[in-house]
Amino acid sequence: MANHLNVAMIHAILTLHQRGWSQRRIARELGVDRGAVGRHLVAAIPKPATNPPLGAMGSGEGAADSKAATLAENPPPGSDAAITGMLPGVEGVESAPKAATNPPLGSEMALPAPASAASGPASDCEPWRAIIEEKVSQGLSGRRIYQDLVAEQTGGAPSYDSVKRFLRHLRKATPVPFRRMETAPGQEAQVDFGTGAPIVGPDGKKRRTHVFRIVLSHSRKAYSEAVYRQTTEDFIACMENAFRHFGGVPRTLVIDNLRAAVVHPDWYDPELVPRLEAFCSHYGTVILPTKSYTPRHKGKVERGVAYVKDNGLKGHVFTDLADQNRHLLEWEKGVADTRIHGTTRRQVGQVFEQVERQTLLPLPAERFPFFHEALRTVHRDGHVAIAQAYYSVPPEYVGRQVWARWDAHLVKIFNHRHEQIAVHARQESGRFATAQDHIHRHKTTSVERGTVYLLRQAALLGDEVANWSQAMLQARGVKGVRVLVGLLSLAKQHPGADLNQACQVALSHQAYRLRAIRELIKAPDSVGEQASLLESHPIIRGLSEYDALVKDAFRGIDAGSLAQSA
């Protein structure tokens, strides 16, 4: 903008500065350079008054009236009249009387007193203040309020940026107080990690530690334990040790969104680590993660972690983890439990023993079974690899990820909804564990399905087919299983009536070869001829003739052997 500001802008700078505005804010609101604001404020510092030249000042009523008229037309810098007349957009500046007078000689400029309303230009949202305040009380967001104004106000609506600025000023002017949440005995515990005391080994090297702390929300009874890492295993072990220390289990656990416990943070529907879900199910409790970046949701343990760091561990150095945990246990018992809490004004240990201990859920008979858990991808053969062994899953999970959970005896596999889809006995390295129902039906041969399945399918084709199949299996044994598969394949090529008629003829002549069934099906009109072929043929001898032939052959062999011996 121009190097020289007009009179109205200078008056506005002086007035807003008198009302407590900073130079940065004045420059931003009026759209001028901050250096220009500073120069005009320095120039406005009053100079020592000097006596006017003789004859310069008028005397009498006429002179006073003339001065009043001049002031009314040209008000002095900094007066309300000047600001109101030349800068009507500045909010909170009220009109001054028309007949203003000069301030006394040597005094500061007569600037108006600060107004009760907020200074600055009027917001575009001011006409809708009541509507916006009502929507804020309903808990609506700025985006939702802007959308409602656009939809509901036919006479136009302010911009989204105006709504955001108005809401910022509105919340700053009327802050909402925090609500203190107190819980019933045994209802809630809050959990968090902090920095523990260092471990200095025999070689002089320092090792960092983390301190786990859980605080019962009613009595403020706490348990602390130092660990090297914040893994899921460490978190579960610390929680279990705390429950054993308390002698019971709180009904809910409030934690932050640490990676050892929460897979996907979500205030409305968080996803926990499956092993932690199993842990909560084992102990009958529920984990409720806080909203991200909102530590006040677990303020009791936030202050409790600071307390154990400043009072229990600060200035201490330990030789090993066990040494630090022994110190923490003694400190909890001798210091933390005996203090008078600043909020409850009662002794922590006494409230726990008299009120809260008996309200905790009972401990289960056994500890939580320790197991390993990891995501696994199902291979093309329908198996997942776990500890160098392979375990089958249902065929619809091929190529997908599943959760595998295993211990020394069992392997359990879960889908993404944590529903168990397979369970196997633990196998040695290189071995496969395959459940029969995990093999796709297109990859299961008829022979693998067994003779019972094959006979059931044969019975569906007709009584004659079923009778021939049973007789054939009795006569041919294991070899007959493949014959039966071939018989069922014929049903896909020929009518059932032809197949039943062929089986009837073949069974009557005890012909248990699949070739005979095929020949009988090929010539359904000459079934009698085929039957006679089976009964007698010039080149086919009867069984009695073969029996006599065999006996004659054996007699000849015996006679020859006797002649040689003689």
pLDDT tens-digit map of 469-495: 888 888 888 888 888 888 888 888 888
- Evaluate whether 235 touches 212 at the Cβ level (below 8 Å): yes
Segment 355-359 mean pLDDT:
93
More reliable by pLDDT, 315 or 453: 315
pLDDT score at 535: 46
Q: Which residue has the higher pLDDT, 109 or 473?
A: 473
Predicted confidence at residue 328, as pLDDT, reads 94
Instruction: Tell me the pLDDT tens digit for each residue of 134-186.
Output: 888 888 888 889 888 888 876 678 889 989 988 888 877 656 666 677 789 99
Tell me the domain boundaries of the chain.
7-50+58-121, 126-173, 188-359, 372-443, 450-535
String of DSSP letters for 331-386:
HIIIIITTSB-TTT-SBHHHHIIIIIGGGSBPPPSSPPPP-EEEEEEPPTTSEEEE
Q: What is the DSSP secondary structure assignment for residue 537, as one 8-state letter?
A: B
Question: Which tokens is 254 given?
Answer: 């409030």
> Taking residues 96-103, what's their average pLDDT?
40
Query: What are 219's strand-pairing partners?
Result: none
Concatenate the DSSP letters of all residues of 161-183 into one string: HHHHHHHHHHHHHSPPPPPP---
CATH topology of domain 372-443: OB fold (Dihydrolipoamide Acetyltransferase, E2P) (2.40.50)
For residue 119, the model assigns a pLDDT of: 55
Query: Domain 188-359: what homologous superfamily?
Result: Ribonuclease H-like superfamily/Ribonuclease H (3.30.420.10)
Q: What percent of the chain has pLDDT over 70?
A: 75
pTM: 0.46
Half-sphere exposure of residue 401: CA atoms within 13 angstroms, side-chain side? 5
Average pLDDT score over residue span 268-272 = 86
- pLDDT category at 102 given cuts 50, 70, 90 is very low
**What span, in angstroms and rounded, lies between the C-alpha atoms of 255 and 257?**
7
